[in-house]
């Protein structure tokens, strides 16, 4: 039995100022800050995880806020756009909210027959979309940050990769990760996995001749796809290696286990396990309220806390264009 992912596990981006990052994603978008920890590879910087109430796979957007990093640029070889799912009836609510919060957005556009799309950016230029689609309603809403549950963001809808050429990536998606090519329109090839619902979609957009992406604030660092458990992750590892790509050993990220590899167009892909999840070291009610460190960094807590900037809970302040 070969590996077939159930869909996107999380997307990780790079941000500038940590407080503004929390204010935007929790304060304006109403996502829950489900984990406040440090970058395991650089414990003097934060790693924030946003998601639904429990931070379920498929709802998670994480950020490395690096206050001194320069702004990146979207281009080929990157996940350029991260899309969130909302219920079709929530579109008016979000347009009004974006106007009130001074978030610049594009007028709703129809994509295919059943998607209405509003594109917007955060303070760092991170490119995102709200996609109004009936499939969004298969996930429960959450009103913990004051947005009515029926209007709340229901996790990720899709990611869009910009590519010089889409063939090699399409081949990896279908041959090694269990995606299927489900649509082809103009220069966009849509792949889906699992039930083809919200959070299972990868759009490959061929933009030959466009400038190459540059990593920095406002860009995506990597996208992770789901493995049901450790055994399935090892299966995925075997498939990826068999496709001739170099893949890391299994790394323990405390909230999931991870393997990483670079797909042929240069985008960093991760396969992350669904378990154990974010309630492994905090209760559901208090997720994201304390700085959590992996056991091996606990002895350095005093020093780490002294180096990290203070963060207060999200304030509903003004958006990027205020
Ligand atoms: Zn990751």
CB 263 within 8 A of CB 159: no
What is the distance in A from the centroid of ligand 1 to the CA of 113? 32
DSSP letter string, 59-80:
SEEEEEE-TTPPB-B--BTEEE
What is the distance in A from the centroid of ligand 1 to the CA of 6? 16
What is the distance in A from the centroid of ligand 1 to the CA of 99? 32
pLDDT tens digits in sequence order for the chain, 322 residues long: 589 999 999 999 999 999 999 999 999 999 999 999 999 989 999 999 999 999 999 999 999 999 989 999 999 999 999 999 999 999 999 999 999 999 999 999 999 889 999 999 999 999 999 999 999 999 999 998 889 999 999 999 999 999 999 999 999 999 999 999 999 999 999 999 999 999 999 999 999 999 999 999 999 999 999 999 999 999 999 999 999 999 999 999 999 999 999 999 999 999 999 999 999 999 999 999 999 999 999 999 999 999 999 998 765 555 566 5
State both tokens at 247. Answer: 């893949």
In this structure, what DSSP letter does residue 247 have? B
What is the distance in A from the centroid of ligand 1 to the CA of 268? 9
CB 76 within 8 A of CB 210: yes
Write down the pTM of the prediction. Answer: 0.96
Q: Reply yes or no on domain 8-307 having CATH 3.40.50.2300.
A: no
Element housing 223 (H / E): strand 220-227
What is the distance in A from the centroid of ligand 1 to the CA of 270? 6
What is the distance in A from the centroid of ligand 1 to the CA of 322? 31
What residue ranges do the domains of the chain occupy? 8-307
The whole-angstrom distance between residue 260's C-alpha and the CA centroid of its chain comes to 15
What is the distance in A from the centroid of ligand 1 to the CA of 110? 31
Cβ partners under 8 Å of residue 77, min gap 6: 162, 163, 164, 212, 213, 265, 266, 267
- Pure H helices in the chain: 18-22, 91-100, 167-176, 230-242, 301-307
């Amino acid at each position: 039995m070969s590996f077939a992912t159930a869909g996107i596990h999380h997307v990780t981006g790079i941000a500038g100022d940590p407080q503004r990052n929390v204010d935007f994603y929790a304060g304006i978008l109403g996502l829950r800050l489900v984990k406040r920890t440090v970058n395991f590879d650089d414990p003097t910087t934060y790693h924030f995880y946003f998601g639904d109430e429990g931070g379920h796979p498929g709802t998670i957007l994480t950020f490395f806020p690096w206050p001194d990093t320069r702004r990146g640029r979207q281009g080929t070889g990157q996940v350029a756009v991260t899309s969130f799912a909302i219920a079709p009836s929530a579109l008016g609510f979000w347009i009004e909210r974006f106007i009130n919060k001074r978030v610049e957005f594009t007028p709703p556009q129809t994509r295919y027959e059943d998607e209405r799309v509003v594109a917007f950016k955060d303070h760092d230029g991170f490119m995102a979309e709200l996609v109004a689609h009936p499939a969004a309603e298969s996930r429960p809403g959450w009103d913990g940050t004051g947005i009515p549950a029926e209007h709340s963001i229901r996790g990720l809808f899709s990611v869009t990769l910009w590519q010089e050429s889409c063939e090699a990536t399409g081949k990896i998606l279908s041959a090694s990760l269990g995606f299927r090519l489900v649509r082809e329109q103009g220069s966009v090839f849509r792949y889906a996995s699992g039930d083809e619902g919200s959070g299972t979609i990868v759009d490959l957009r061929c933009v030959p001749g466009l400038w190459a992406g540059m990593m920095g604030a406002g860009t995506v660092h990597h996208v992770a796809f789901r493995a049901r458990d450790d055994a399935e992750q090892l299966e995925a590892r075997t498939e990826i290696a068999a496709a001739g790509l170099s893949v890391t050993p299994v790394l323990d990220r405390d909230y999931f286990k991870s393997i990483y590899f670079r797909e042929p167009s240069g985008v960093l892909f991760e396969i992350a396990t669904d378990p154990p999840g974010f309630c492994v070291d905090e209760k559901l009610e208090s997720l994201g309220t304390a700085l959590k460190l992996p056991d091996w960094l606990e002895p350095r807590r005093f020093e780490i806390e002294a180096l990290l900037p203070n963060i207060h809970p999200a304030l509903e302040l003004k958006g990027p264009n205020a």
